[in-house]
Each structure stands twice: as C-alpha cells, then as structure tokens.
Amino acid sequence: MERNQIAVEIHVIALPFPAQGHINPMLQFSKRLASKGLKVTLVTFLENENLTKLPKHSSNITIESISDNNAVISTVEEYWKNFSSMVEQKLVEMVEKQNKFGKHMRSCLVYDSIIPWALDIAKQLGLSAASFFTQSCAVSAIYYHVREGKINVPIEQDFVSLEGMPQLESHDLPSSRYNSEDQPSFISLMTGQFSNLKDVDWIVFSSFNSLEEEVMNWLATQYPIKLVGPTIPSRYLDNRLEDDDDDDYGLSLFKSNTKTLIEWLDSKETSSVVYVAFGSLAALGEKQMEEVANGLKRSDYHFLWVVRESEEKKLPQNFVDETSDRGLVVGWCPQLEILSHKSVGCFITHCGWNSTLEALSLGVPMVAMPQWGDQLTNAKFVTDVWRVGVRVKVNVEGLVSKEEIDWCIRQVMEGEPANEIRKNSEKWKNLARVAVGEGGSSDMNIDEFVKQLQSYWN
Ligand code: UDP
C-alpha cells in the first residue's frame, strides 16, 4: 500500500429472501465471513418479537430489520413490488449512512439468487455484488437448461440426460408448489436467477465440492462459481467459530420448546427415534397426513413429528393422545439439535435443500418424501447418487400409503440395506466436515472470496 493511502474496510450486506430456508444458510455464511474479519450486516424482514432478540454488541454480525410498514398485500405481483421497493429503500439508507460515517468502508451486497433485481440496486449504489444460491448445483443446472430452452419442465419425454447428472425422470425434476397453472411463473422465478448472472462479481453456492463434483464442474464451465457449504453452524461441524450462538440470533421464524424435546430424546435409546419434518412451507393434504400418522403408528418406532401450527388441524383426531407413549408432535424444533442427537436414527424429510444438507452433514439416514420444487431432484440425489436414504413411492391416488411409510422406515432402520445407508451417511458426514474444516474446499473458497473482496477497490 502506498504511503498516505488508507485501507478500505469491507462491509458485507447479506440479503436473504425472508423464508427460513434462505435466512438460515445466509446467516451461517455471514458468520463464516465475520470470522475472517469482515464486518457483516444481515438484512431481513423480522417481526417485532424477533427484533427484541437481536444480538448485543458482542456479536460481529449486525442484524438490520426491514419493516413492511403494515402494507396490505393481496396479489403476488403486489408482494414482489412492495418487497423490492422496501429492499431498495433500506439499501439506499444504509449506503447513505455509510458514506457519511464510514468514508473508508466499501460494501458488497450478497443477495439471494432468487431476487436477481438486487444486482441492479447494488450497481446503482456502487456496491460490488455476489449472488448466493440456496439450492444445489444440480437443481441450478436444470434451471439453466430450462432457461436455455434445452429442456421443458415438466418434460415431455420419459427422461432427460444432462451433463454431470444421473438420468432424470419427470418426477425427479423441479415442480411448482401448486398446480400446472402456477408452473410458468414458478419456473420463470427460478430461471430468472440466471437473467443477469454474467454481470455479477461472484456466484456462491450453499453446497460443497465433493458432494456435487461432476455437476459443479459442468456449471463451472458456464459461470465462475464458488461452493462454500455446508452452511451449517460451525458447532455441528468444524467447531472453529467462537461466535456461534445457540440461538442463532433469534432468526427462527417459528417458536420451539427445546428443553422438553431434548429431555425426551435423552430418554430414548441410540438410533431409535424417527424424526419427521417437512420444512417451513410444505403443506400435506389431510389424507396424506393421516397416512403419515398411521405409518408412524404401524412402524412401532418412537417418533418426533414437526407439524406446524397451520397444519395441526389436519392431524387425525386423537392421534396425539393415542400415541403419547411413543411419539411427540411439536409445532417446530431446533432441527440441527435433533439431527445431531444420538437417539435419532432416521429423518423423514421433504428434502428441502437445507434439510438435505443438514442430514447429510450430520450423518442421518433419510426417507425422502419430496413435495415440490427442488425437493424432487434432491430426493433423486439422496437415493441414487449419495445413497443415504430411500424414497417413498406415490400410489395411484397420489398418496404415500401408511404401508409404504412403514416399509421405508424399516429400510433405513433395519437390516442390510440400512447398514449400507448408514455407512454412506457416515462417509458424507466426514466429507462435509473436511469441506468446511481448515484448508478444506469451502474454507479455501471463502478465503479466496474474502481476498478478492479486499483487493476489489484497490
Ligand atoms: N427447521 C427447523 N425446525 C423445524 C423444521 C425446519 O429449524 O422444525 C429448519 C431446518 O433446519 C432448515 C430450514 O428450517 O434449516 C428449512 O429449510 P429447507 O430448505 O429444508 O426447507 P424449506 O422450509 O425451505 O422448504
């Protein structure tokens, strides 16, 4: 550095889409960046209740909240319009403040890849920018091919072959949450992630090299991507981060009662409990809930089932009372605490990308029961590529029957197939640790990102 030249301080502004599966990985990535000495602010929409739990000054991450000003939203279009204008307003405010008080500070916006318009705001404000993907490389490669017109979703032929991936059938490809009428807007939201990617400074994925080597190598021929995951709290992996808060800064959008749950799990034998959770958004139909409930009853294992408050009314009458000696039904739980508990032997999951990565990284075998979106593709990889679980079959009525659920639980809990799955799960658990550990691929990618950020303005 020349004499009299003042070093710039780097400020990362992390901007997740306000859903649990987006906030969690971006918070963990933020913590990794902060541990490398950067100043980090995570900006998101928070309810008042969570605002009171924001970290005190001991933390090296600041959480900034955006308020929606009680806007009345009745359509999806209105939601996005309101959302983008509030984000823009907040970023303008933050940059103005920085220009006034932190003259030697330069910011980089790390934005959620599903809000590509954030790149335009970053450029207008003179910020550098990174697009952060909270989905797998495989799913991203599929959306890339859809955007390029190389495949249609849903596919018309029996299967598609894409580089770096196993053959994919229709039920392995991403689908809309609702019905075919919503498919075009869902797909355009997803393919939109690639709309301006050539103009962004960095592209970061919540995944890790050894997990998706082949498809990552292919995607890297199109874009300079960096894999920085698994984005899971350090205390469950490499245990190197000092500022690794139990509460994760109160950024959980749902409430849970940790103490009772852990005590209950403590009282159970090793690998004897089936953990069931479908993430923060998926909603099963009433008939499907009944089949899951009866499947759990049939299986004879202890179970812990997360049924969000909004879903509770779909539970069969008396189910909770009838099964109280064997199972617990809770509205939400600290999932990583559960997955890392020795009593948990398998995870019936919707295969959201975070849940998939969490189970993989903690070595928990899975019963894949995907519902929509990228979950279908993740389920394919869980069973056929990483071989860490089985996938439920859907019957002619479009349901996963109680017999099927019982059978799948046994496949991952008992006998030879279960041993094989357990062995594979252990392998991925170790590889996840290696990736984020000192000198691992994700650790080095984060180091390189930090270095490039530091030289960006010099
Ligand atoms: N999660 C949790 N408690 C629960 C259920 C889910 O903490 O009871 C967390 C889970 O650990 C994951 C996130 O919520 O980090 C859900 O993200 P995912 O991508 O798996 O699914 P989504 O909610 O986006 O469908």
DSSP string, 5-58: PPPPEEEEEEE--SSHHHHHHHHHHHHHHHHTT-EEEEEEE--HHHHTT---TT
pLDDT of residue 92: 96
Q: 13-22, 61-70, 307-316: which has the minimum mean pLDDT?
A: 61-70
Out of 280, 309, 364, 366, give the residue to mutate to test ligand 1, the one with the largest number of ligand atoms within 8 Å of its CB: 280
* Residues recorded for the chain: 458
Task: Spell out the residues 6+ positions from residue 145 whose beta carbon is closer than 8 angstroms to its own.
Answer: 151, 162
Question: Does the beta carbon of 280 sit less than 6 angstroms from any atom of ligand 1?
Answer: yes
User: What is the Cα–Cα distance from 446 to 318, expressed in whole angstroms?
Assistant: 50
pLDDT of residue 5: 61
Q: Name the burial class of residue 349, with classes exposed (0-12), middle (13-18) and buried (19+) by CB atoms within 10 angstroms of its CB.
A: buried
Same domain for 317 and 240, yes or no, is no
pLDDT of residue 230: 97
Tokens representing residue 18 in the block? 């306000």
Work out the percent of the chain whose per-residue pLDDT is above 70.
93
> How many angstroms does the Cα of residue 102 sit away from the middle of ligand 1?
36
pLDDT of residue 153: 73
Same domain for 411 and 448, yes or no, is no
Tokens representing residue 57 in the block? 């000054």
Confidence of residue 311 (pLDDT cuts 50, 70, 90): very high
Pick 289 or 255 by higher pLDDT: 289
Task: Answer yes or no: are the C-beta atoms of 37 and 243 closer than 8 Å.
Answer: no
Same domain for 328 and 227, yes or no, is no
Residue 194 pLDDT > 60? yes
Question: Does the beta carbon of 16 sit less than 6 angstroms from any atom of ligand 1?
Answer: no
Tokens representing residue 179 in the block? 């019905």
Mean pLDDT in residue range 97-106:
84
Same domain for 326 and 199, yes or no, is no
ipTM of the complex: 0.99
Out of 335, 339, 358, give the residue to mutate to test ligand 1, the one with the largest number of ligand atoms within 8 Å of its CB: 335
What is the atom index within ligand 1 of the atom nearest the CA of 252? 7
Q: 103-107, 195-199, 327-331: which has the minimum mean pLDDT?
A: 103-107
Question: Does the beta carbon of 155 sit less than 6 angstroms from any atom of ligand 1?
Answer: no
Same domain for 236 and 368, yes or no, is no
From 57, 104, 112, 199, the catalytic residue: 112
Mean pLDDT in residue range 188-215:
96
Same domain for 242 and 377, yes or no, is no
Question: Does the beta carbon of 358 sit less than 6 angstroms from any atom of ligand 1?
Answer: yes
Residue 215 pLDDT > 90? yes
> How many angstroms does the Cα of residue 379 sit away from the middle of ligand 1?
15
Same domain for 236 and 270, yes or no, is no
Same domain for 218 and 275, yes or no, is no
User: What is the Cα–Cα distance from 215 to 91, expressed in whole angstroms?
Assistant: 34
Residue 458 pLDDT > 80? no
Task: Answer yes or no: are the C-beta atoms of 209 and 441 closer than 8 Å.
Answer: yes
Q: Is 120 a catalytic residue?
A: no
Out of 17, 20, 251, 364, give the residue to mutate to test ligand 1, the one with the largest number of ligand atoms within 8 Å of its CB: 20
**Checking DSSP bridges between strand 159-160 and strand 168-169, what pairing results, if any?**
antiparallel
Mean pLDDT in residue range 62-80:
82
pLDDT of residue 70: 72
Q: What is the pLDDT of residues 232-269, one digit of tens each?
A: 999 999 988 876 666 676 688 888 877 889 999 999 99
User: What is the Cα–Cα distance from 294 to 291, expressed in whole angstroms?
Assistant: 5
pLDDT of residue 57: 46
DSSP-derived letter for residue 316 is P
The residue segments making up the domain with residue 330 are 258-433
Confidence of residue 407 (pLDDT cuts 50, 70, 90): very high
Same domain for 179 and 119, yes or no, is yes
Pick 155 or 18 by higher pLDDT: 18
Tokens representing residue 211 in the block? 């997990």
Pick 257 or 38 by higher pLDDT: 38
Mean pLDDT in residue range 340-362:
98
Average pLDDT, whole number, for the chain? 91
How many other β-carbons are positioned within 10 Å of the β-carbon of residue 99? 13
Q: Is residue 283 part of a domain?
A: yes
Pick 258 or 171 by higher pLDDT: 171
> How many angstroms does the Cα of residue 279 sit away from the middle of ligand 1?
4
Question: Does the beta carbon of 306 sit less than 6 angstroms from any atom of ligand 1?
Answer: yes
| Torsion over CA: 392, 395, 398, 402 (sign) | negative
Q: Is residue 2 part of a domain?
A: no
Question: Does the beta carbon of 354 sit less than 6 angstroms from any atom of ligand 1?
Answer: yes
**Checking DSSP bridges between strand 302-306 and strand 61-66, what pairing results, if any?**
unpaired
Q: What is the pLDDT of residues 113-162, one digit of tens each?
A: 999 999 999 999 999 999 999 999 999 999 999 999 998 877 777 889 99
From 22, 302, 341, 350, the catalytic residue: 22
Residue 177 pLDDT > 90? no
Q: Is 22 a catalytic residue?
A: yes
137: helix, strand or coil? helix
What CATH number corresponds to the domain at position 363? 3.40.50.2000
Q: What are phi and psi of 394, to 5 degrees?
A: -95, 135
Q: Is residue 4 part of a domain?
A: no
Same domain for 268 and 402, yes or no, is yes
Pick 223 or 49 by higher pLDDT: 223
Q: 177-191, 252-266, 424-438: which has the minimum mean pLDDT?
A: 177-191
Q: What are phi and psi of 154, to 5 degrees?
A: -70, 150
Question: Cα angle at 244 between 118 and 448, to 5 degrees?
Answer: 55
Same domain for 164 and 224, yes or no, is yes
Residue with the smallest CA separation from ligand 1 atom 11 is 335
Tokens representing residue 269 in the block? 């034998």
Residue 213 pLDDT > 90? yes
- The structural domain count of the chain equals 2
